[in-house]
Structure 1
Amino acid sequence: MLEQHYVGIDQDENEGLTHLGRIVRDAWVFGILPDSETCAGWSSAQMQSLYEKVYAAWEPYAHLPSRLPDELRKRHTQLYAQAIARAKEKGWDTELDDED
């Protein structure tokens, strides 16, 4: 069985607005990873380890962006707004259909 590797946030669907992409983006928010790290080629084990670090970073804020300190909330808003805008420019449809 072949191990799957993450394609990297820059190659991920919808500008990385996926489960794994959000983990990477949140790692940027919290300074766990530098913004230049896309995680391309990372193994499932590496992504799981990153998820655990990001999860722990969110815990003091109940996993809610509204509870982040001002600096982190601004960074979160900026990073996600940029990704959403780019995804929409590329045709991302935010409407749910019957299969979502």
Structure 2
Amino acid sequence: MAKPDKYVGINNEINGGMTTIGKIIRDAWVFGLLPESETCEGWNIAGIDSLLQKVNAEWDKYGCLVSHLPEELAERHSRIHDEALAKAKAAGWNGEVETDDEE
């Protein structure tokens, strides 16, 4: 089966958006790289990759640690990611997929 050439959008993601691309998008929201209304639906892989590079550059400024974010960004990070976790759990996600290989 061929991979789709367009991204489905964070609101249409599997696992309530708890995927690598979903995290990239949420982090882009945190850093103000995208408005929180942007779901990236219809984006191609090159667009997502470009966004990843921008998100990584922002994280590098803070040593890739939430604890190093300025207060405003830390609060935005908590709000965005807490809301995402709540939505994903309500949609049936429980995080086990991410830890299945840690036995």
Runs of 4+ in 1 over 3 A off after TM superposition: none
- Secondary structure in 2 matching 1:10: helix
Cα distance, 1:14 vs. partner? Answer: 2.2
Q: How many residues align?
A: 100
- Please report the TM-score for the alignment, with normalisation by the length of structure 1: 0.90
- Secondary structure in 1 matching 2:11: coil
Residue 24 (structure 2) pairs with residue 8 (structure 1): no
Counterpart contact for 2:9–2:40, Cα < 8 Å: yes
- Please report the TM-score for the alignment, with normalisation by the length of structure 2: 0.87
CA distance in 2, matches of 1:58, 1:97: 27
Aligned-residue Cα RMSD (Å) equals 1.9
CA distance in 2, matches of 1:39, 1:67: 27
Instruction: Give 5+ residue unaligned stretches, structure 1.
Output: none
- Secondary structure in 1 matching 2:12: coil
CA distance in 2, matches of 1:97, 1:3: 26
Cα distance, 1:78 vs. partner? Answer: 0.7
Counterpart contact for 1:3–1:44, Cα < 8 Å: no
